[in-house]
Structure 1
Amino acid sequence: MATEPMSVKVTVKTDITDDNAREQMDVTGRGKCYDNGDSLVLIFNEKDEDGNSVKNMTTITSDKVTIKRKGTVKMNQIFRENRATESTYYHPYGTMHMETKTNQIDFSRSGNGDEGRLLISYSLSLNQQEPQRHKLTLTYERE
């Protein structure tokens, strides 16, 4: 049941907390939403702090969420509820090993599919340091 791509505005908010600090990051971009019935794919570009473009692709299926980023940073992060996954984060200043332990994935969308919300709660350890708690909220809406 492939459909024509829908133009969307995507917003990603990430809250990161540990024992000593809290950090929030917000990213907004315009892109496309592809819905083939078994998966939903959101593709959009963001600008990093230096103004360089980073391509984001989020794939949502019934059993996992995958976030891929390409550009000045590269990563392929996989979220599976109640499971740990490993990946590598490539940054201009170095490479980091990531271990992600996903606690919760919640995805909902409107009846017509014009807007949706993805919530992921997880712990992330970079280069085997103490894990930090993350809450990622991705929303999209038709433009």
Structure 2
Amino acid sequence: MTAKNVRVKLVTEIRESDRKEEMAMSEAGQYYSRGKTEVLKFTEHPEEGEPINTMVTMKPGHVSIKRTGGVDMRQVFQKQLETENVYHHTYGDFHMRTYTDQIEHQSLEDASSGRLFISYQMTLNHEVTQRHRLTLLFEEESV
């Protein structure tokens, strides 16, 4: 198993009808790889609320994101498939349906920086459907 300290940059873009919202953050994290599986762990520090521990597991054609702390959720992405989960938040629980359009992944094992891009549609509580784009960049921190 390979373990490395990395710098993680996460950019999320949400589109709903004519509205677009973009959020970006950068945190220190750890990267692990074994065989065809890569894991990225980092802690988000939102301006409001508790820190959120995030673990992203990447395998060919399959990505899962688990978040604990300020929020509690596990979201699974599989290309051209719909997945469901519940998002536990201070303000209550939300039912999420996710349809993944596209997953692009570049391993940190193959290049100086790794990249994960996911394009998906998410329906919250059976009502609002939003288009999401998630871009996760990670590169080894120089010692």
Give the residue type in structure 2 aligned to 1:76: R
Paired residues in the alignment total 141
Q: 1:28-56, CA deviations, whole angstroms, 9 ceiling, x for partnerless residues?
A: 21110001022000000011222521100
Equivalent-residue separation in structure 1 for 2:49 and 2:88 (angstroms): 18
Could you tell me the TM-score, scaled by structure 2's length? 0.93
Query: For the aligned residues, what is the CA RMSD?
Result: 1.3
From the superposition, tell whether residues 112 and 38 of structure 1 become closer, same or farther in structure 2 (CA, over 3 Å): closer
Could you tell me the TM-score, scaled by structure 1's length? 0.93
The equivalent residue for 1:47 is 45
Identity of aligned residues (%): 39
The equivalent residue for 1:126 is 124
Equivalent-residue separation in structure 1 for 2:115 and 2:73 (angstroms): 22
Contact 2:61 2:103 in 1 (8 A): no
Gaps of 5+ in 2: none
From the superposition, tell whether residues 118 and 70 of structure 1 become closer, same or farther in structure 2 (CA, over 3 Å): same
Post-superposition offset of 1:68 = 0.5
Contact 2:65 2:74 in 1 (8 A): yes
Give the residue type in structure 1 aligned to 2:117: L
The equivalent residue for 2:104 is 106
The equivalent residue for 2:133 is 135
Gaps of 5+ in 1: none
Paired residues for 1:47-126 under 5 Å: 47-50=45-48, 52-109=50-107, 112-126=110-124
Equivalent-residue separation in structure 2 for 1:112 and 1:124 (angstroms): 31
More strand by share: 2
